[in-house]
A and B are shown apart, each in its own frame.
Chain A
Amino acid sequence: EIVLTQSPGTLSLSPGERATLSCRASQSVSSRFLAWYQQKPGQSPRLLIYGASTRATGIPDRFSGSGSGTDFTLTISRLEPEDFAVYYCQQYGSSPITFGGGTKVEI
């Protein structure tokens, strides 16, 4: 099983600042199979990025994904108030599908 480790656990920032979230895999993951989600309290997760760097439909361009192999990054260029949430990475490089433990972005 591929373990995804997200860091930091919590990121305390202000609106307008840049957020950099890390997702490290225990084994190499094909970039095609790395996705990022945003989850706000009381809501379902929302797909942000797939294929490591492709934004999902309707996702603002302040969200970007990068990385390959075992190290992947989600960057939010300028935080908007609605971006404060928990972010998860997910892989399907091999079964079972696994998620990281999440990074909370808080004010």
Chain B
Amino acid sequence: QVQLQESGPGLVKPSETLSLTCTVSGGSISNYYWSWIRQPPGKGLEWIAYIFHSGSTNYNPSLKSRVTISLDTSKNQFSLKLSSVTATDTAIYYCARGLTMFDPWGQGARVTVSS
């Protein structure tokens, strides 16, 4: 069965760029949509972006100016970059497969923005 695993720094300084990678195992990254979703501490879920295996992307307008999502099919990975972070970007960042629905999800990467 397909499994997803997020990786990246757990602490990012304000104004810097948050970078996370999601590694897909147990299946190919091809022919699916892949998404990033985040959850601030004690709060609800916010969709960030998705990418199709062809490379087409879509971003949440609230974050679009700061977000880049990319794909590396050779490594079966996709990545998220969020620039100019502030404390409000502190959250658990999840990667997930899907577009109209998300399944499965990774276990989440906790990222704190602090100096």
Contact = CB atoms under 8 A, between A and B. Distances in A.
Interface of A: 1, 32-33, 35, 37, 44-47, 50, 56, 88, 90, 92, 95-102
Interface of B: 35, 44-47, 50, 58, 60-62, 94, 99-108
Contacts of A100: 44
Contact of A44 (B47, B50, B62, B108): B108
Interface of chain B, helix or strand or loop or mixed? loop
19 contacts: A33-B100, A35-B101, A45-B105, A46-B105, A47-B103, A50-B101, A50-B103, A56-B103, A88-B44, A88-B45, A90-B45, A92-B100, A96-B47, A96-B62, A97-B35, A97-B47, A99-B44, A99-B45, A102-B44
B100 A44 contact: no
Given A44-B94, A45-B45, A99-B46, A92 B105 contact: no
A100 B46 CA distance: 9
Contacts of A101: 44
Contacts of B47: 96-99
